[in-house]
A and B are shown apart, each in its own frame.
Chain A
Amino acid sequence: MQKTTDEFIDTVEIEQPIVCDAPNDQIAKETLIGSNLKYLVVGIMFGIVFVKAEIISWYRIQEMFRLHSFHMYGVIGTAVVVGIISVWIIKRFNIKTIQGEQVVFHNKQFHWGTVVGGFMFGLGWAITGACPGPLFAQIGSGFLVVIVTLLSAIAGTWVYGLVKEKLPH
């Protein structure tokens, strides 16, 4: 447990793994459409930004890994700084969700996959020009052949699930 989190005694800290790496921690019951439409709206906003800032561009990814442009570093860096400040504010002022619930945070655990899987994803990211989010956005922006890439990514996830126990963690 980090020292900083002890200061916020109201903040709930749960160790991973819960269910998945990006879990739903809401306690209040959710309806399929009514509760989830707001995530569709946030997703739409995300998709628009992806296109308008050219984050889903294969060229921009090439440019980033050739150190020819600051653009992608600026996007990721700003997002991280805004995220850090936001999470700090939520913890510091114990801001509740709109359902009135405590915001739950999870610790990410380090294992061999962090290194090996991370490196492997990096290789794939550079060649497809997409992380998982942009895969969906590349399809939406009309590059329908990326459906094949997405299916292959789903297959990759599936194979990971299949061989998980045999891999070093």
Chain B
Amino acid sequence: MIELIRHPWPWYVAGAVIGLTVPVLLLIGNKHLGISSSLRHLCAACFPANISFFKYDWKREIWNLFFVGGVLIGSFLAVQFLRDPAGVVISEKTISDLQALNVQVDANLMPVSIFSFDNLFTLQGLLFFVVGGFMVGFGTRYAGGCTSGHTIMGISNLQWPSVVASCFFMLGGFVMVQLIFPWLMKVL
């Protein structure tokens, strides 16, 4: 059994568990899945700076921070105790594409050559961590949700704006990976 859990989980298992989070959260306390909201609550709790967007009762929404705290703990537990010794196996085509862009492909969840503190004060670090993170935080809030709030919760509730949002999430991703990323990796 534990061997089975250690192997990477197939998409239909992961998808089903993630999808079931929607009714679970609704039924255990009328909560709506939406993880990017945690970033807003952190702003409201730590530095509201008299901005009206952050003036609300964030304590009432604190369940969301418990939830993301759980995500952090859960990922830690999975890596510590359920790690697959084989590592992450991705498609050969992606490996050769990335190698052509001088990305050192390893068997970790993310390339250590990019996602390390050594890279923090380089142009690459600025781009991957600071600019990338900023676009995630600003973009999700402007869009009114992220992959969880729009793509999963919103579409589950048949909200057409969530379908539109999800299409633009994907479009942004394609534009980055197909057009901007190859150029960036050459320049940096």
Q: Footprint of B on A, CB under 8 Å?
A: 2, 4, 16, 19-27, 30, 32, 35-66, 68-84, 86-87, 89-90, 95, 97-99, 101, 103-111, 113-133, 135-146, 148-162, 164, 167
Chain B contact residue count (CB 8 A cutoff): 135
Q: Which of B33, B78, B90, B147 contacts A63 (CB 8 A)?
A: B90
Contact partners of B33 in chain A: CB under 8 A: 22
Closest to A103 in B: B26
Contact partners of B42 in chain A: CB under 8 A: 154, 157
- CB of B78 within 8 A of CB of A123, answer no
Contact partners of A109 in chain B: CB under 8 A: 144, 161
In this complex, the member of B30, B63, B170 whose beta carbon has the largest number of chain A beta carbons within 10 angstroms is B30
Closest to B39 in A: A157
Using known A-B contacts A23-B61, A120-B135, A123-B173, determine if residue A81 contacts B19 with beta carbons closer than 8 Å. yes
Give the complex CA separation of A160 and B44 in angstroms: 13
- CB of B141 within 8 A of CB of A161, answer yes
Give the complex CA separation of A43 and B141 in angstroms: 21
Contact partners of A116 in chain B: CB under 8 A: 142-143
B180 at the interface (CB under 8 A from A): yes
Using known A-B contacts A52-B14, A97-B26, determine if residue A125 contacts B169 with beta carbons closer than 8 Å. yes
Give the complex CA separation of A68 and B159 in angstroms: 29
Give the complex CA separation of A32 and B74 in angstroms: 21
Using known A-B contacts A44-B77, A121-B135, determine if residue A126 contacts B173 with beta carbons closer than 8 Å. yes
Closest to A84 in B: B156
CB distance from B156 to the nearest CB of A (A): 3
Q: Footprint of A on B, CB under 8 Å?
A: 5, 8-43, 47, 49, 51, 53-54, 56-57, 60-64, 66-79, 82, 88, 90-91, 93-94, 97-98, 105, 109-111, 114-117, 119-120, 125, 127-162, 164-178, 180-181
Contact partners of B116 in chain A: CB under 8 A: 145
Give the complex CA separation of A164 and B54 in angstroms: 11
Known: A82-B18, A133-B35, A157-B40. 20 other contacts (CB 8 A): A2-B158, A16-B144, A25-B31, A35-B29, A47-B71, A49-B9, A49-B18, A56-B109, A57-B110, A83-B152, A86-B22, A109-B161, A118-B139, A119-B139, A122-B173, A126-B173, A131-B140, A136-B75, A143-B109, A160-B138
